[in-house]
Structures are given as structure tokens and as C-alpha cells.
Amino acid sequence: MPDAEYVLPLRWADDRGLPDLAGYLGRLVDWLPVTVVDGSEEPRFSAHARAFPAAVRHVRPDPHPGRNGKVAGVLTGLRLARADRVVLADDDVRYDEPTLRALLDRLAGADVVRPQNVFDPMPWHARWDTARTLVNRATGGDYPGTLALRRTALGPGGYDGDVLFENLELLRTVRARGGRVLRADDLYVPRRPPTARHFLGQRPRQAYDSLAQPGRYAAELAVLPVVLLAARRAPRALLLLAAAACA
């Protein structure tokens, strides 16, 4: 894929997914150059270097102001990129070659392209989280774990590293500079679901997903009285409905 690179920011405290990620990177390097910006502590950083294919550029993130380490990884990868078109992706994203090509092709008419993630496989908690994805699609679009953008879309200052919802902040920064963000809701990119324990631990933090989107938050608050009334009058029915939603 000419004039394109893949940047993967990484920071792991658990290497259970390392064989799967290394296998994916082995396929990926046949299609385009890959840079992994790895903020993992030793000995994991060295273990990753041994496991990743030799063709992968494996580097530490540069220092960057802000508390969000992923932003430092993204900006380091963009500074190192030699191509104009860059795919940013979390460690759980799994492209195939046709989808990757289609994503990059759409940069011909945009500064950032925003595809749609789908879980594969789909255990119960991934089905639960897919409901959140569908709500996002209906209220302004989902915020996936991957984007394609032009290397210069953010400008020399990058974007704010003191935010929790870093993908939204990246898109806001591009728009503020006059760039065009394209929603590609028909481009489905698989991602690996987290463990059930990790999913449950994410729930309080996922509140930013609503707080950062006022329209969606208002719709959710409008439903809240109905849920509370149902919980009071028919709690068992509400539990059965919740179980059916996850089945």
C-alpha cells in the first residue's frame, strides 16, 4: 500500500494477548510499514521486541505534556511516520487487507476517516457493548479504536493530552483546523473484545462516552424515569429484559 503507514500505541501490564497481536502484526507488515509505540514497562517492552516481527518498528513514546499516555504514543508515531496516510489503531483492532485498502482510499476526500468497529468474537459482554455502539451510530456516530488520517491533519502542536476521550479530542482538533472528518459507517473493522472482568472495570470510565456527547446524554436521561419506574413496579421483568438483551 503506497504512501501509507500503520501506527499502534501500546501500553500493557498483561501479555496474555501477545501471541495473537504478534501474529496479526506478521500479516500486517506484508501490506504496509508498521510502527508500535510501546509505553510498557520492562520486562514487557523487551518481551514485545522479541515477539514482534523484525519488520515492525518498535519504539518508546516521546515525552508529551498531559496525563493520557495514548496521546503521547499517537503523536510519536505521527512524528516518525514517513508516509502521508497513517492508520492509527488500538492493540485489539484486526484489519484485513481489503478493509484496510478501502479505508485508505477514502482519505482521498477527507483528512480523517472514521470506520465502524465490530466485536469478533462476541461473548455476552461484547453484545452488551454493541448496544452502546448502536446508540452512538444513531446519535452522531461511533468512536472506534481506529482512524485513518493525513499525517499533517493535526498540525505541529498535535492535540490535548489532558483528556480522557482522546479520539473525540483528535477529531475536534482536526475540525478546528478546517479539516474534514468522514464517517465510514459501512466499513466494518473487527476488534477483539476485552475479558469480562476488564469490561466490568471499564463501566465507570465509559461515562465519558455520554458526557462528551450532550445530545446522546439528553436522550439517555429522558429514558431514565421509565427505567426507574419499571424497577419499582416490576423489578423481575426489568431483570429478564436486561438478560434478554445480553442473550
pLDDT digits (tens, 9 = 90+) for 90-143: 999 999 999 999 999 999 999 999 999 999 988 888 787 777 777 777 777 778
**43 and 130 share a domain?**
yes
Q: For the chain, how many structural domains are there in total?
A: 2
Q: Domain range holding 235?
A: 214-247
Nearest Cα residue to 96 out of 16, 1, 11: 1
The pLDDT value recorded for residue 4 is 97
**234 and 125 share a domain?**
no
What CATH number is attached to the domain comprising 146? 3.90.550.10
Label residue 43 by pLDDT band (50, 70, 90): very high
Strand partners, 22: none
Checking if the pLDDT of 239 tops 70, the result is: no
**180 and 134 share a domain?**
yes
**204 and 219 share a domain?**
no
For residues 213 and 144, give the distance between their C-alpha atoms in angstroms, rounded to a whole number.
Answer: 15
**148 and 236 share a domain?**
no
- What cell does 21 get? 497481536
**243 and 125 share a domain?**
no
Amino acid identity at 55: A
**184 and 240 share a domain?**
no
> Which of the pair, 34 or 136, is modelled with greater confidence?
34
Checking if the pLDDT of 244 tops 60, the result is: no
For residues 5 and 197, give the distance between their C-alpha atoms in angstroms, rounded to a whole number.
Answer: 33
pLDDT digit string, tens, across residues 165-216: 888 899 999 999 999 999 999 999 999 988 778 767 666 666 666 666 666 6
> Which of the pair, 216 or 30, is modelled with greater confidence?
30
**131 and 184 share a domain?**
yes
**55 and 174 share a domain?**
yes
Question: Which of these ranges, 36-40, 173-177, 221-225, has the smallest mean pLDDT?
Answer: 221-225
Taking phi over 0 as left and psi of -120 to 50 as alpha, with beta for the rest, 155 belongs to: left
**204 and 225 share a domain?**
no
The pLDDT value recorded for residue 238 is 61
**219 and 110 share a domain?**
no
**202 and 226 share a domain?**
no
pLDDT digit string, tens, across residues 3-25: 999 999 999 999 999 999 999 99
